[in-house]
Amino acid sequence: MSANFHPLVYIIDYIFGVIMWTLIGRVAMNIFQREDSQFFFMKVFVKFTNPLLKIFKPLTPSFIIQPLVPLYVAWFFFMIRFYLMPWILGYSVMGMLSFPLESEISRQIYQFFNSIKF
């Protein structure tokens, strides 16, 4: 990791990042599966994200169609990670690839493709 943040910052960002990407995954999975599908992964996405959707129900406008509500809630987690976390830490906006979770994933992908010999 490039910055010297307290480990709690990374833990919070990883949790918010996993929540955000799980909500986005639910929307993507919903393109191919119904929410009441018996497909294992769809059941997991619905089971883990429904409590969050209930928490954010008072903040969710009624005009948003139901399959896109998880994407709307994921937007809140993105905004927290992109604006609130850096502000709390005393930084200006850190930039797109400064999210610790995504930075670590991109670093691993880069190392993987860099290690392949063609």
Give the model confidence (pLDDT) of 56-114 as tens digits: 999 999 999 999 999 999 999 988 887 777 777 766 555 544 677 777 788 888 888 88
Mean pLDDT, the chain, whole residue set: 83
* Higher-scoring residue by pLDDT: 115, 1: 115
Residue 13 has pLDDT above 60, yes or no: yes
Q: Residue 95: left if φ>0, alpha if ψ -120 to 50, beta else—which one? A: left
pLDDT score recorded for residue 118: 67
The residues spanned by each domain of the chain are 7-115
pLDDT score recorded for residue 73: 95
Residue 52 has pLDDT above 90, yes or no: yes
Task: State the residue for tokens 């990042």.
Answer: 17
pLDDT score recorded for residue 72: 95
pLDDT score recorded for residue 92: 55
pTM for this entry: 0.75
Alpha-carbon separation of residue 100 from 7, 70, 77, 94 (angstroms)? 11, 22, 14, 11
CB 67 within 8 A of CB 30: yes
